[in-house]
Amino acid sequence: MNSQTAIAADNDGKSTWKFLLRELKPKGRWLTPFNIISIPIILFGIALIVIRFWKGIGAITNLSQEIPWGLWIGFDVVTGVAFAGGAYVITFMVYILNMRQYHSIVRVTVLNGFLAYLFYAGALLLDLGRPWNVINPIIGNNFGVSSVLFLVAWHFLLYMIAQLIEFSPAIAEWLGARRARKILSAMTLGAVIFGITLSMLHQSGLGALYLMAKDKIHPLWYSEFIPIMFFVSSIFAGLSMVIFEGSISHRVFFSQISEKNHHKQRGIVLGLSKICTGSMFVYFFLQLLVFIHGKRWDLINTPMGYWYLLEMLGFVLLPMTLFFYSYRSGNIMLIRVAAILTMVGVVLNRLNVTIIGFRWDMAVHYVPSWMEIVVTLTVLFTELWIFRWVINRLPVLRDSPAWVKEENN
Amino acid sequence: MDLHRRDFLKVMCATGLTLATGTALNATPKNKYTPEFHGILYDSVRCKGCRGCEYDCADANGLPEPEPTKKIRGLRKTDENHRTVVNEHKTSKGLVYVKMQCMHCNEPACTAACLTQAMSKTKEGPVIWRGDKCMGCRYCMVSCPFDMPKFEYHSPNPKIQKCTMCYDTRVLKGELPACVENCPNEALMFGTRRELISEARRRIYEKPGEYVEQIYGEHEAGGSGWLYLSPVPFEELGMNTSLQNASYPALTKGFLYSVPSVFVLVPALLLGIQQATKKNHPNDDSDDE
């Protein structure tokens, strides 16, 4: 079924460059609903980005002196990175715990994670007032080692390299580089171990960023355990994203997935929902402990208290129960519903810490401008474009070319 | 261990030479001069609210001239065009004026937050901002408990604006900060933090009816360079009295200290688990990496 897959080395007589040029061209139909929606938004977003660099950040955002971080940090970076957590969880299961049955989703999850980091770290550049100094913490003697953001910045960079190494065998297979593939595959385990360690630290680090904003975040969302909460929730945030993305990929890229992997998907989703149940239980229990030890009962009977209850009961406890129930009954449809509810809950939680609960006591609240939302959509759609481009060309969802199996045997 | 005579002699020679020619290494700092932290004592009993310091500050730092008093409505905050503002508060003891600006904390949250050392606590005490290092991430603004760093949102080359206690322009040359030098009512006093605290205590002790018995900034947020005296409780002046007395960087210390241990222990643990689970799963999948 991979007969149409173009492989550079198979094109006798044609150079790799010609192959790359041909691969750059779009494949398939142009006027799909996705293209019709995304192209105008991307073009419009680019125009807004030009205005932002020309007139300053204030020209297109609603940020203020009291609320210096808005949608681009709170949603694009903090929430986006939580959803990209699937990559470290899946690589942990496959390469460390040797749970081989999940092997078929490693590549697509790592690709998703890598692109998420690439684009959300890219979105960070839009938010930097003086982006030309972005290399300062990386080179030179400007190491602000006491800063959590310093740690997060370095970890973003290193983790992107680790993910690229994890994904690189797929690139080598695409280009038909047999020797390179062998070398790169040998580096996988090292990259995975390094990547998991980095992920643990920067997933929690994103929460630790807000530790110094002690007086600014609503007490229901602030505790010294924010880093641990962020880390634990990134496990089920990432896995819910894997379930959600898988259910879409299996429809959109149906033809690329082998019969065997189609059949496997059911077992994978059931297994993931089991892990989601466990990690959500740990998370819910942690939240409960913090709530009780913090003696927060008197905060509950307020509007923010109801909002907190909605997040905890409606978008943690309910999807957790759904995951558990549907795993027991084998109901894939219900698992998807639970995954979507969980994702809404993670978005709510991250926004509650970074935006909604941040300066909740101010008279004027921050609401993102429509232009900030368009730029966020631009980032998201561009990422999806690249994702589709890669999926259509590289052996990510489809099986590796035949020569890989020959070499392994 | 076998040591030959020749080797023994070599070692002895080397040791002897080192002892004869080497100089003693002691763990002493190269620069013996370590200045004390300086700060400014602001006495709101003496301040008459003339706002002269606002004009002097704008003049000294190249900011637009502040608006005239007639046009001012309500309480103002510092912003990218005002590094300092003087607000009028109606209190239980009549009108009291309060000057607001960066507090120059002993252990500043902004400095700990800054990943490029653009925000920097100088040896002399002022907290300064260095544009050649700053990348404009605004994490200092998120972290500062006093909300003092201000960002130029409407500039393609934005700066962080905040009081620098005139560090580069005046203090290093031995001059007083612009606001202190020109205050007609001697409401501002520049000096080492130690001197200022004893001066503040003296004023409270000598005129107990005029001052509340608190020096704002002595303990707040781990102590700050600016110290405030007031005739009324500081809540009445709109100052945040619920700040913790520990420094704000201490809040992230635990997390940052755990990083090296995670970096050493977790990879070892992962490798151990990987080795332990390897044999449990013989190649049950053909598409092995």
Min Cα–Cα distance to chain B from A376, Å? 18
Average pLDDT over residues A190-219: 96
For tokens 């970074």, the residue is A354
Asked whether the predicted pLDDT for residue A4 surpasses 50, the reply is no
Q: Is the pLDDT of residue A92 over 50?
A: yes
**Is B253 inside any structural domain?**
no
Nearest chain A residue (CA) to B130: A142
Instruction: Tell me whether residue A353 is in a domain.
Output: yes
| A372 chain-B contacts, CB cut-off 8 A | none
The mean pLDDT of B22-42, rounded to a whole number, is 76
| Residue of A92, A98, A127 lying closest to B281 (CB–CB) | A98
- Asked whether the beta carbons of A134 and B117 are under 8 A apart, the reply is no
Statement: residue A1 has pLDDT above 50: no
Per-residue pLDDT, B158: 96
Mutate to test the interface with A, among B116, B147, B270 (most CBs of A within 10 A): B116
- B219 in Cβ contact with B103 (< 8 Å): no
Residue B150 pairs in a beta bridge with B161
Cα–Cα distance, A50 to B239 (Å, whole number): 40
Predicted local confidence at residue B280, as pLDDT? 63
Angle made by CA atoms A208, A157, B251, in degrees to the nearest 5: 15
Q: CA-CA distance, A277 to A334, in Å (whole number)?
A: 13
Chain A contacts in chain B segment 67-86 (CB below 8 A): 77, 79-80
Kindly state whether residue B76 falls inside one of the protein's structural domains: yes
pLDDT category, A5, cuts 50, 70, 90? very low
Q: What's the domain range around B128?
A: 38-237
A25 confidence band (pLDDT: 50, 70, 90) = confident
Percentage of chain A lying above the pLDDT 90 cut? 77
pLDDT tens for each residue of B145-171 = 999 999 999 999 999 999 999 999 999
More confident residue, A11 or A110: A110
Cβ <8 Å between B115 and A147: yes
Q: What is the pLDDT of residue B286?
A: 43
Of A56, A101, A194, the CB nearest to B156: A56
- Would residue A49 count as lying in a domain? no
Residue B205 pLDDT: 95
Average pLDDT over residues A92-96: 96
In a domain, A48, yes or no: no
CATH code of residue B224: 3.30.70.20
Banded model confidence at residue A309, pLDDT cuts 50, 70, 90: very high
B257 in contact with A, Cβ within 8 Å = no
Question: Total domain count for chain A?
Answer: 1
Q: Classify residue A23: in a domain, yes or no.
A: no
Pick the residue of B139, B263, B274 with the most A CBs within 10 A to test the interface with A by mutation.
Answer: B139
Q: Compute the mean pLDDT over every residue in chain B, rounded to the nearest whole number.
A: 90
Q: Tell me if B194 sits within 8 A of B74, measured CB to CB.
A: no
Structural domain includes residue A259: yes
Boundaries of domain holding A219: 72-400
- Minimal-distance CA residue of chain B relative to A67: B142
Does the residue A231 lie in any domain?
yes
Residue A231 contacts by C-beta under 8 Å, 6 or more apart in sequence? A200, A203, A204, A207
Residue A55 has a CB neighbour count (10 Å cut-off) of 14
Q: Which of A78, A108, A142, A147 to mutate: most B Cβ within 10 Å? A: A147
**Are the beta carbons of B136 and A56 separated by less than 8 Å?**
no
Candidates A129, A137, A214; nearest CB to B115: A137
CATH number at residue A285: 1.20.1630.10
Answer yes or no: is pLDDT of A2 > 50. no
The pLDDT value given to residue A20: 81
Give the total number of structural domains in chain B. 1
In a domain, A405, yes or no: no
Q: Is residue A271 part of a domain?
A: yes
Q: Which whole number is the average pLDDT over A125-144?
A: 89
Maximum distance among all Cα pairs of chain A, rounded to whole angstroms: 76
* A12 has pLDDT over 60: no
How far is residue A130 CA from its own chain's centroid?
26
Q: Which residue has the higher pLDDT, B87 or A139?
A: B87
* Facing A69 at nearest CB: one of B138, B271, B286: B138
